[in-house]
């Protein structure tokens, strides 16, 4: 069965009676007028459809929890939706822990990941009731044990390992290969276990964690990842008599940014994971563990679009036509960071013939601030509302104030209603952390 991550557009996308694109029953041109641009628009129905697909796809393996990787897009409203859909949260910073807690999220459904968690962040995780901490390295083992000891607590931990699996995605978002900054190499696991057993009595090792990368289109890497982890669980059982009952497989399922992308469905990935769990549990004679998965991009990526207003344009004599918009690398760093490609439409002219080659340029003082190079669109007129699809993941979450450009607002649309979930930043907020030392006054 097809799932929402396999389409470029949110599931409710239509052309309405005004001849404009609508999402979640809301006319994108009206949204642009009402809230201003750039504007992130999130389709609630698409988010909920994908979370339901995950739950449905794994229903034959009930020993599983879906933990939304908050780094893909986190606001308090998203925490509420994830809670309602029965998802937990994979958190990776003090800021994410604080946001979840402020949203009233059930912290017993959270995990904490990261390769350099600070003393303050680990303390916050413990005092906030984060359920499990995935420990990434020796430094953190010692630090966490100290903190747990001074809080008089025992902390449930997973060991993050690098399974040595390469997936075919952009180098910057590969994580599971051996030469990676994340996790323990398999050759270091015994030393970590020895330390936990002999010195770190406030740490309770319950399982292993791995994450092989992001924007993955292949099934086999998940099959293999489980093989590597289960083999390790068997080895630890034989050597130490320790039975690790929990396994976190990370996230990574890809989405469709352009027609060239062919991501697999949530059902396909679930089937591969379940098959691999069954086969490898038998092969290594271990009990089927409790599984966590941490999808981020596939949960919110397709649901989100960004609206821009077309401004100035320039045609280089005998060269490219650049059409500038009122956002760019500050609201979507992915094109300049990863050469990521996107699909766009003109929201007020969706049926126009796409016969004009154009490069959509951002408004920042940087030549590399190009949102889409040489794409085909109907001829753009000043004031048109340009809609970029699949910006729901790692767009807002990687946004910046480069050039002191304000961060856009985000709205959640559903059944013809739109609600602000992030207010547009104001100039006052922009300067609120700035301090002029007395001697400069
Ligand atoms: N779990 C861990 C430990 C992770 O590091 C990540 C993502 C995820 C889960 C979620 O992966 P997802 O399902 O979203 O692929 N900024 C990059 C993506 C970086 C991903 C970092 N880790 C981008 O925009 O493509």
Q: 98-151 pLDDT, tens per residue? A: 999 999 999 999 999 999 999 999 999 999 999 999 999 999 999 999 999 999
Average pLDDT score, the chain = 97
Q: Which residues contact 194 (CB under 8 A, 6 or more apart)?
A: none
Average pLDDT over residues 208-228: 96
Q: Where are the domains of the chain?
A: 4-42+302-431, 44-300
The secondary structure of the chain in percent helix, strand, coil, rounded to multiples of 5, reads: 35, 25, 40
Mutate to test the pocket of ligand 1, among 294, 332, 338 (most ligand atoms within 8 A of CB): 294
Average pLDDT over residues 371-384: 98
Please name which of 296, 334, 116, 143 lies closest in space to residue 211, comparing C-alpha atoms: 296
Q: What pLDDT does residue 166 have?
A: 78
Q: What angle do CA 441, 406, 392 make, to 5 degrees?
A: 150
Average pLDDT over residues 368-381: 98
Is the pLDDT at 175 greater than 80? The verdict is: no
Rounded distance, CA 332 to CA 384, Å? 19
Q: DSSP for 286-299, please give it.
A: -PPPEEEE---HHH
Q: List the catalytic residue out of 26, 79, 167, 365.
A: 365
Q: What pLDDT does residue 176 have?
A: 63
Average pLDDT over residues 41-58: 98
Instruction: Show the beta-strand stretches assigned E in 370-416.
Output: 370-377, 385-388, 409-414
Neighbours of 126 (CB within 10 A): 18
User: Given pLDDT bands bounded at 50, 70 and 90, which one contains residue 438?
Assistant: very high
Is the pLDDT at 325 greater than 70? The verdict is: yes
Q: Percent of the chain, pLDDT > 70?
A: 98
| Ligand 1 atom at minimal distance to the Cα of residue 393 | 24
**Which three-class secondary structure state does DSSP give residue 431?**
helix
Average pLDDT over residues 67-88: 98
**Topology of domain 44-300, CATH:** TIM Barrel (3.20.20)
Average pLDDT over residues 208-223: 96
Backbone angles phi, psi at 409, to 5 degrees: -85, 165
Is the pLDDT at 56 greater than 80? The verdict is: yes
| Ligand 1 atom at minimal distance to the Cα of residue 134 | 3
| Ligand 1 atom at minimal distance to the Cα of residue 214 | 15
Q: What pLDDT does residue 177 have?
A: 65
Q: Which residues contact 358 (CB under 8 A, 6 or more apart)?
A: 321, 322, 323, 374, 375, 376, 377, 380
User: Given pLDDT bands bounded at 50, 70 and 90, which one contains residue 167?
Assistant: confident
CB 174 within 8 A of CB 196: no
Q: Which residue has the tokens 């085909």?
A: 376
Neighbours of 365 (CB within 10 A): 8
278's enclosing H/E stretch is helix 266-284
Q: For domain 4-42+302-431, give the CATH superfamily.
A: Lyase, Ornithine Decarboxylase; Chain A, domain 1 (2.40.37.10)
Ligand 1 centre to CA of 82 (Å) is: 17
Ligand 1 surroundings by CB, under 6 angstroms: 69, 71-72, 90, 113, 173, 211, 214-215, 250-253, 294-298, 334, 338, 394, 398
Average pLDDT over residues 382-395: 98
Residue nearest atom 9 in ligand 1 by C-alpha distance = 251
Locate 331 and state its tokens. Answer: 């609201």
Average pLDDT over residues 238-266: 98
Q: What pLDDT does residue 344 have?
A: 98
Higher pLDDT among residues 174 and 213, named by residue: 213
Please name which of 332, 345, 327 lies closest in space to residue 405, comparing C-alpha atoms: 327
Q: What pLDDT does residue 171 have?
A: 59
Is the pLDDT at 406 greater than 90? The verdict is: yes
Q: What pLDDT does residue 281 have?
A: 98
Average pLDDT over residues 154-163: 97
Average pLDDT over residues 179-204: 96
User: Given pLDDT bands bounded at 50, 70 and 90, which one contains residue 178?
Assistant: confident
CB 35 within 8 A of CB 406: no
Q: Percent of the chain, pLDDT > 90?
A: 96
Cis peptide before 271 (omega within 30 of 0): no
Q: What is the CA radius of gyration of the chain?
A: 23
Domains 4-42+302-431 and 44-300 are alike in CATH topology:
no
Mutate to test the pocket of ligand 1, among 175, 252, 333, 340 (most ligand atoms within 8 A of CB): 252
Average pLDDT over residues 262-279: 98
Q: Which residue has the tokens 């013809």?
A: 416
Q: What pLDDT does residue 225 have?
A: 97
Q: What pLDDT does residue 172 have?
A: 59
Is the pLDDT at 174 greater than 80? The verdict is: no
Is the pLDDT at 202 greater than 70? The verdict is: yes
The predicted model scores a pTM of 0.97
Average pLDDT over residues 277-301: 98
Residue nearest atom 6 in ligand 1 by C-alpha distance = 251
Ligand 1 centre to CA of 190 (Å) is: 27
Cα–Cα distances in Å, from 236 out to 4, 194, 230, 244?
A: 39, 11, 10, 8
């Amino acid at each position: 069965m097809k799932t929402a991550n396999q389409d470029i557009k949110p599931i409710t996308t239509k052309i309405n009676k005004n001849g404009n694109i609508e999402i979640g029953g809301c006319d994108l041109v009206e949204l642009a007028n009402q809230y201003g641009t750039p504007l992130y628009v999130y389709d609630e129905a698409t988010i909920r459809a994908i979370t339901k697909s995950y739950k449905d796809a794994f229903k034959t393996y009930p020993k599983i929890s879906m933990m939304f990787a908050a780094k893909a897009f986190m606001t308090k409203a998203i925490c509420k939706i994830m809670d309602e859909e029965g998802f937990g949260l994979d958190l990776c910073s003090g800021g994410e822990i604080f946001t979840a807690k402020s949203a009233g999220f059930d912290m017993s459904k959270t995990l904490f990941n990261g390769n350099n968690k600070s003393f303050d962040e680990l303390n916050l995780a413990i005092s906030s009731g984060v359920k499990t901490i995935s420990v990434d390295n020796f430094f953190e083992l010692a630090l966490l044990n100290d903190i747990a000891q001074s809080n008089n607590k025992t902390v449930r931990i997973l060991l993050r390992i690098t399974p040595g699996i390469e997936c075919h995605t952009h180098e910057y978002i590969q994580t599971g290969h051996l030469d990676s900054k994340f996790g323990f190499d398999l050759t270091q696991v015994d030393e970590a276990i020895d330390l936990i057993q002999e010195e770190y009595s406030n740490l309770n090792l319950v399982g292993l964690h791995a994450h092989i990368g992001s924007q993955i289109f292949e099934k086999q890497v998940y099959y293999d990842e489980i093989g590597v982890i289960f083999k390790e669980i068997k080895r630890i059982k034989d050597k130490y008599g320790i039975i690790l009952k929990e396994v976190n497989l990370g996230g990574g399922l890809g989405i469709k940014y352009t027609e060239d992308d062919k991501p697999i469905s949530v059902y396909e990935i679930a089937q591969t994971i379940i098959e691999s769990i069954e086969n490898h549990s038998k092969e290594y004679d271990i009990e089927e563990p409790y599984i966590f998965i941490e999808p981020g991009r596939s949960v919110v990526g397709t649901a989100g679009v960004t609206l821009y207003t077309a401004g100035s344009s320039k045609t280089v004599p005998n060269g490219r036509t650049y059409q500038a918009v009122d956002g760019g690398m500050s609201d979507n760093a992915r094109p300049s960071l990863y050469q990521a490609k996107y699909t766009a439409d003109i929201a007020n002219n969706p049926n126009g013939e796409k016969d004009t080659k154009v490069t959509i340029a951002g408004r920042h003082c940087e030549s590399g601030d190009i949102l889409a190079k040489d794409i085909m669109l109907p001829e753009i007129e000043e004031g048109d509302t340009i809609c970029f699809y699949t910006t729901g993941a790692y767009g807002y979450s990687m946004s910046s104030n480069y050039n002191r450009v304000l961060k856009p607002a985000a709205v959640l649309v559903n059944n013809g209603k739109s609600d602000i979930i992030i207010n547009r930043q104001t100039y006052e907020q922009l300067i609120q952390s700035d301090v002029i030392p007395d001697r400069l006054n």
